Structure 1
Amino acid sequence: MHFKLLILLTCITFLSACNSRTDENQSMKFVGLVKDVKSGKMNLSKLENNKDILFSLNGISYFILKDSNGVSWIPIEKNEKGEAGSKVILINNEGKVVKELIDIPLSPIKVIEGPNNIIAVLCSYTGYSSIVVFFNKNTLDEIERVEVKGSITDAVFDEDNLYISSDNLELNKNSYVHKFNLINKKIDSTNIAGSLRINSIIEKGEFLYVGVLAYEGKDSTSIVQLKKNNLDKSNEFMVSHSPFHMKLSNDQIYILHLSYSANPIYGGLLTVLDTRSENIRTFKLPILAENFYIESDRIIFTTSFSDNYAILNLLDHETKVYAGAPISSNLIKEGK
């Protein structure tokens, strides 16, 4: 009798734990920035319902970084008048302002978290040159500023180096990739020959991968592979038009395609590049996605063009569309 009771209690405990984990997965919520059509303000809203507002911005932003301390960094790219912004707002999980960093160069577009409590704020500044401002994540003190050529588009940390992509607006071609060493402060640079625009850069192993939005005189685009140590070109992978955002998960590079300049707007396509086999797969998406968030077995796609978001199941490759908020930024997880 006691043995049967023990088995029953064990089963109940196991089922309770499974249900708890299921509830946790189902209750995991996401938030992003939504532009209010009437007021023109951007609100930090829940993905499922844009009426559920956590914070309202006095300005325009298309990016959020949630650092490892749980603080969200929002760069104000433009102020409420549409002029170049010059501050970064930090808010906590309750939607309260932790601090406003106001002495920021013009047009901060992204915030990147690095090693040793470093945060990098990417500012496009004049467009012909850009500035990266480094902060201590814990004290929020400014560490230093670094100026690079071109209009900055993205950056990625790897150990003691920050790799930066920027567009050469002076020549309107031959976009830059810069390597800034945090220890010796040296900057090395190279050009992606013939490239008109590049929008994303990621790192994997010994290489960098740069998404070329457009080439001069070519009806094609590609992912350019560079060696980290000397920035020499190592390989090139031809992909569909306008690789807009790239993200890495394990050995897979996920590439979202989008072009605002095309008429009609081009997009709704995801390319997956396997960095080991160099195999390339393409998925057609049911929405004109502008950003995406990768979890272990699914990808969440968002768009500001409609009140929908889509989820791609990576196990069976089935995609479903759900009603939600028209998100203009990347997603972050709500709560800690």
Structure 2
Amino acid sequence: MGIKYDPQNFSYASMTTTKWSWKANPLALQELQAAGGRIQVFGSTQQLSVAGKRLLESELQANVDNQFMLEHAQQSWQGLELILPARVTLKNKLHLEITFEAAQPSAFTMLLNVGAGSQMQLEREIHYPPVSTRLNLLTCGKVEADSRLNLVDRLQGGQSPQQSLWMANLHCQKDAQLDWSFYPEVKGKVLGKCITVLEEQGSSAVFKVGQFGRRDDWIGIQGLIDHRAPKTFSRIKMRGVLYEKAQVYFTSIGKINKGAHGANAAQESRLMTIEPHAKGSVNPLLIIDENDVQAGHAASVGQYDEEALYYLLSRGLVEADAKQILINNFMEPVLPKETVEK
């Protein structure tokens, strides 16, 4: 993954089927159901749809070298499957909340299938129990031809530190568009591996990560976009702000396979360290096996722009307010407009 981590912090030992619940905003849910779509709970492979079962089996076969995914498949399956039929546009954003109610180590799976020619906005909030636990999550999904998916993922926890493994594999078919944002707003240790596969010509993906690391948080996130077809497009944008003794590590990978001529891949990873004991690193990678492509990357780890800070102070702002303005400006490219860091 390009990130050094302790596998024991994210192992699958003693996983259980824990108590959890879900809810969605009624207007969007009614609109989805009226269009023939659904969100359904499953607890075993027999309860999955045929398409969902095929999708999960395909992912497991394609990732036989991923030990975490193989261990996940060996657990008692539980999760949600969301299906949006073909040629449906949801006008309302679907806000889906998944709440874990017991502090038991647990593995959770979610399957997404956006039908051809369809469009939707989906915001998922994963709420952790108020006490410490270990939660491993797997998302597999398909964005079919000519479809559009705007996906926002948030991990949210209480005051207790958590341990979380976040694995997500999304596949885009011909001319599909994916805009995916990941915000691990949980204390403790988080290891994330988010993969987008651009399977067919004209597909595109943007992957954004925004992270505020505090206290002794440890966050390691890898974003990979895999170009497997001609004229595909991708952008990766990862930004983090580190306080106290937090550690944040980003790895961004743009992979262009042989035959993906005309592909366009770019990535940008930046960290701002606020306090002297915070640590972080960014690791941008381009793996290119084709000549006719455009690709580039940018990366940085640093503190405030001293000249910008001096300018704000010279205009009468107190130091705390001036620094917060710089932080907000730094994070603006990856955070939604409604997000305000307090």
Measured against the shorter chain, the TM-score band is under 0.3
Larger helix share, 1 or 2: 2
Q: For the pair shown, which has the larger CA radius of gyration, 1 or 2? A: 1
Larger strand share, 1 or 2: 1
Give TM-score scaled by structure 2 length.
0.25
